[in-house]
Chain A
């Protein structure tokens, strides 16, 4: 049985609300990774996890039309990507950029 576009959109809206309700958990994950990188910049595993997390966030939030969140996650993803691909950890210079990007991502959670 195929549903109408209207029923379908209502179902997507429901999914979107549930997605938004679970955003605080993603925020917690983000904070956990931030903490572990703050303590140890060379923690490559955390950086890799942060890359996966921002990649997923950028994709899933865009699917629900949360463009601000998606753009900020994408910026951070693109910043971390070359490091992860080259197996490099954050250094002091990139750490500042990372902090700025992370802060604007965190802000976009509440928008």
Chain B
């Protein structure tokens, strides 16, 4: 199974960004790069080369699903695993995206920061156990 070390988190809400990155870095021991928007993610992802991308669904300008489409156009990110993060309000809209290649799962906000890293590790392990 590939190691999960580098996580990119694309989220426009700074407070949630902060909580998540503290949780992922300090509880999970991951290295985390946060991006404020889809365009930022497209710029930073090739160099950071994340093992996993966490993608917020509802963002102004470029939403999560559109960001994913653009990410897939970059050769080095063509199969990078993605987990969508969504508010409960958007959950029913995301079912259709879950079937896309490389989309491992959907996490709903608000998440419990204490268990976020374990949740992500479980998703990662389940995905690779089934591949």
Question: Chain A interface (Cβ within 8 Å of chain B)?
Answer: 2-3, 5, 7-9, 11-12, 15, 19, 52, 55-56, 58-60, 62-64, 70, 74, 77-78, 81
Contacts and interface: CB of A to CB of B under 8 A. Distances in A.
Contact of B22 (A5, A11, A56): A11
B89 A8 contact: no
Given A3-B27, A8-B23, A60-B13, A81 B113 contact: no
A45 to B, nearest CB: 12
A3 B25 CA distance: 9
Interface in B1-40: 12-13, 15-16, 18-19, 22-23, 26-27, 29
A20 B89 CA distance: 24
Contacts of A78: 89
Interface residues of B, number: 20
Interface of B: 12-13, 15-16, 18-19, 22-23, 26-27, 29, 58, 60, 87, 89, 109-111, 113-114
A70 B87 CA distance: 11
Given A55-B58, A62-B110, A63-B110, A3 B26 contact: yes
